[in-house]
Amino acid sequence: MTSATVLLPGQPLPSHLIAPPLPQCGPGCYELNGRILASVVGVPKRDGSVVSVMGREESGATPEVGSIVIGTISRLTTQQAHLTLTTSNDRPLPETSEEFQGVIRIGDIRLTERDKIKMGDCFRLGDLVKARVLSLGDARSYYLSTAANELGVMYAVSEAGNPLLPVSYQEMEDELTGRREKRKVAKPEGI
């Protein structure tokens, strides 16, 4: 876990940020039974003897061309996958009245075999996807690309409702049933 990891409420802060002696809790975190936990969705940081978790409202981050974003597939068509974006360059996006939206067009999924790509073989509703911002797009959406080995589906759930594990760049496997499903898989970290 790095200092740029996004934490959920109740998750402990990374050990390298809370090395003894135990630091003071700043905004966005609290101490419970000698452990420091996040109280908001955000990125942990340490400033001297104070640790805090910077939430969406403090982040001020907005996607720019070249940014790496993470989002959830919210709508699919035969030509596009629509995402609701949550982070940009490992920082949570600010909460606004309108969510940050992104679009992956069928030609921006892979670098090769673009004419053979089927959207349903790459993404499904609810998949968590890592992508790069190609352009600011139109007034509603950023144009995104997953055309790199490290980009694509990071987390998905099988049709049976079980978590899927990556087995190749084009398949994920249900860890309970062993059934495989097609996806445009992001290269797992550490491989």
Q: What is the pLDDT of residue 21?
A: 73
Whether residue 102 is found in the same domain as residue 148: yes
User: Do 182 and 111 sit in the same domain of this protein?
Assistant: yes
Residue 27 belongs to domain with CATH number: 2.40.50
Based on the fold, state whether residues 100 and 177 are members of the same structural domain: yes
64 and 23 together in one domain:
no
pTM of the complete model? 0.67
pLDDT digits (tens, 9 = 90+) for 68-112: 999 999 999 999 999 999 888 887 887 665 678 999 999 999 887
> Based on the domain organization, do 116 and 67 belong to the same domain?
yes
Let me know how many helices (H) and strands (E) the chain has, helices first: 1, 15
Let me know whether 49 and 138 are in one domain.
Answer: no
- What count of other Cβ atoms lies within 10 Å of the Cβ of residue 45? 16
Domain containing 88 equals 60-191
Spatial CA neighbour of 179 closest among 153, 155, 154, 161: 161
**Tens digit of pLDDT for each residue in 116-158?**
889 989 999 999 999 999 998 777 789 999 999 999 999 999 9
State whether 52 and 99 are in the same domain.
Answer: no
Residue 4 included in any domain = no
Give how many domains the chain has, as a whole number.
2
Integer-rounded Cα radius of gyration of the chain: 18
